[in-house]
Amino acid sequence: MSDGPVLILGARSDIGLAVAHRFAAAGHPIQLAARVAATLERDRTDIALRHDVAVTVHEFDALATESHAAFVDALPELPEVAVCAVGRLGEETESERDVTAAVLVMRSNYEGPASVMGELANRFESRGSGTLIGISSVAGERGRATNYVYGSAKAGFTAFLSGLRNRLAGKGVHVITVLPGFVATRMTAGMDLPQALTTSPAEVAQRIFAATRHRRDIVYVKPVWRLVMLGIRLIPESIFKKTSI
């Protein structure tokens, strides 16, 4: 892998920032993209100072899908690696009560990410190189009462990444699906997460970096999640519907 630029979509998220640091530490220039990009200035300076690499910030709104083509074209350079860390957990109870809130979760976790990854994919395909990394979720592997709105959108994103990988295999473009499981971040602050299943943004970043080097397809950040989700998928629906997992 050369040391071309790495684009971080959703750069304000803890995982997005950690991934930026990890690639910057290896000498990659970084493109940070998020809404209200001016507030990324502190992180831009920090990453540039720590790792002695060029860092640029870019205004990006995942929900403004009509702007995505122009956003990608306006980047100073088409990145070598693009990481999509865009997401919104939402409050499941709010998503149940308020369809508008539910739609926002769906669009934030599926429509927006898939749209921008689609734009990048086409350009990577014509160039014949690049790595697309989507941070999806184990919540997308089976709908559960506690977070099915979020989960359904992540399921869509996972399927999109899988299809994209299939389409671009042999075209020089690699697609990685990352399934972090529980991560201790601002998004999950205050939640009571089981320690054995929980990881840190730095660990997620390290796994993503290694997966890029080794061209992995699907990454469970904590391997135990592969087993956990296998178990959850195997439960017959007639039983599953009565559980509260």
Q: Is 150 a catalytic residue?
A: yes
Nearer to another protein, 48 or 64 (CB): 48
Considering the complex, what minimum distance in angstroms separates the CB of residue 181 from another protein? 22
What is each CA distance from 180 to 22, 101, 164, 223, in whole angstroms?
16, 24, 20, 10
Considering the complex, what minimum distance in angstroms separates the CB of residue 52 from another protein? 7
Nearest CA among 133, 164, 108 for reference residue 6: 133
Dihedral sign, CA of 94, 97, 98, 101?
Answer: positive
Provide the 8-state DSSP code for 141.
G
Size, binding site for another protein by CB under 8 A: 9
Cα–Cα distance, 91 to 111 (Å, whole number) = 19
What is the per-residue binding string for another protein in 178-217, x denoting contact by CB under 8 A? --------x-------------------------------
Cα–Cα distance, 43 to 234 (Å, whole number) = 43
Nearer to another protein, 49 or 210 (CB): 49
Nearer to another protein, 53 or 178 (CB): 53
Nearest CA among 187, 210, 68 for reference residue 139: 187
What is the per-residue binding string for another protein in 31-60, x denoting contact by CB under 8 A? -----------xx-xx--xxxx--------
Within a 10 A sphere around the Cβ of 179, how many other Cβ atoms? 22
Chain residues 124-183 in contact with another protein, contact rule CB under 8 A: none
Nearest CA among 168, 62, 163, 74 for reference residue 121: 168
Considering the complex, what minimum distance in angstroms separates the CB of residue 39 from another protein? 11
Considering the complex, what minimum distance in angstroms separates the CB of residue 46 from another protein? 4
Binding stretches for another protein (CB under 8 A): 42-43, 45-46, 49-52, 186
Catalytic positions: 150
